[in-house]
Amino acid sequence: MKKIIKIILLLTLTFSISMKEIIASEKIKIGLLVPLTGKNSEIGKSIIKSTQLAINKINNLSIEIIPKDTESNPESTLKAAKELAELGVKITIGPIFNKNLIYLDELPDVTFLSLTNKNDNFSRNIINAGINATSQLNTIKKFLELNKIKKTIFLTPDVSYKNEIKKAISTSKIKIIKNYTYNTDPTKLTQQIEKITRYDIRKQNLEDEIVRLEKSDQNNKEQLIEKLKKRDTLGSVKFDCIIIADFDESLKSVTTSLLYTDISPKKKYFITFNQWFDKSLLEETSAQPLYFPSINKSNYKDFSEEYFEKFNKYPNQLSFLSFDLIGLVYYLIIQNNSIVDEKIFTKKSLFKGKVGIFEIKNNKINHILNFYKVENNEFKKIF
């Protein structure tokens, strides 16, 4: 444990290393593959600005960031990546979108730190650095174990990332009773949730119990019947916790359906995925408390304020991640005696950045995240 703490403390010094302490023999070239034209251009421009902030923090004139436009297109991404390779770039941050990775195996000597949160790499030279489902489930697993929650079900929307979720459940070894896949169509969702929660059976149990009491000679049956009539169902469900792998309005539709079927977050744990502190969740008081893993909220706020002060607008979420990746790459290069190659990502190490702690091992990056609760109009940190 002391060794891990020592490593983390060492890594946090990354941004404070001065040129007097480390002088690279030549320029440290880091590529940046982002959309600079088209509908996603604002995302790309925000990422470039965040890397500027990171470079200012590092304060080493030997670092050179070289941005190229992917045009959010796989062919354009490959063309831009080849241009970077011709300039001697061996490590590139980006591209953002998973679809733009498909041709990058043609450049095996370049390592790409993609900002996607999917974990299905197309090639060994691609490292997905986004906050993936496995990282999030590892954090959720920790919460379940700390609270000794044994009976958990999983709700996964029938969307493109459902296989990613399935793989993450297996990789994280999180213990669940069952993973249910649901249709996100609101007209079908409630019916599916009713089936999962045995709503019809529990509702019938209530009606049967009222009838039984009415026919009984029990002395206090009137009071008991009045009490039962205030309820919606009678009987238990076979779970204590629900993990909902959804976001935005679709997530709210699921929690609404659960409430309709008389499943309350006051009695069962409602857990979801990283919500990036979506303020609209604070207004959903009936669905609280709601738990989720996430990046460090305090650091995210500080970064956003610093970004706003510099550029007079707020950054997108990927900007926050790209800020840390600059520091991570710089540190690993320095640790590798300023030699830029694929080996810098094979050694096991920890890096504490603004997002949180990056865990690097065998060409993979996972995030050690924090855990939060939404309740009483605030996001409260659990650990």
Q: How confident is the model at residue 121 (pLDDT cuts 50, 70, 90)?
A: low
Within 10 angstroms of residue 140's Cβ, the number of other Cβ atoms is 24
323-362 residue pLDDT tens? 999 999 998 888 888 777 777 888 778 888 888 898 887 7
**272, pLDDT greater than 80:** yes
Ordered alpha helix ranges (H), 232-361: 248-260, 297-311, 317-335
Q: pTM score > 0.85 for this model?
A: yes
56-103 residue pLDDT tens? 999 888 899 999 999 999 999 999 999 999 999 999 999 999 999 999
Closest CA to 165 of 192, 144, 134, 193: 134
Using CA atoms, how far apart are residues 132 and 312, in angstroms rounded to an integer?
A: 30
What percentage of the chain reaches a pLDDT higher than 90? Answer: 79
288-301 residue pLDDT tens? 999 999 999 999 99
Q: For the chain, where are the E strands, in sequence order?
A: 28-34, 63-69, 91-93, 111-114, 126-128, 152-157, 178-182, 241-244, 269-272, 290-294, 349-352, 357-361, 364-368, 370-375, 378-381
Closest CA to 252 of 274, 295, 285, 294: 285
Domains of the chain and CATH, by start: 2-130+297-367 (3.40.50.2300), 134-295+372-381 (3.40.50.2300)
Q: How confident is the model at residue 20 (pLDDT cuts 50, 70, 90)?
A: very low
For 353, the token pair is 């950045």
Higher pLDDT, 23 or 159: 159
Q: How confident is the model at residue 363 (pLDDT cuts 50, 70, 90)?
A: confident
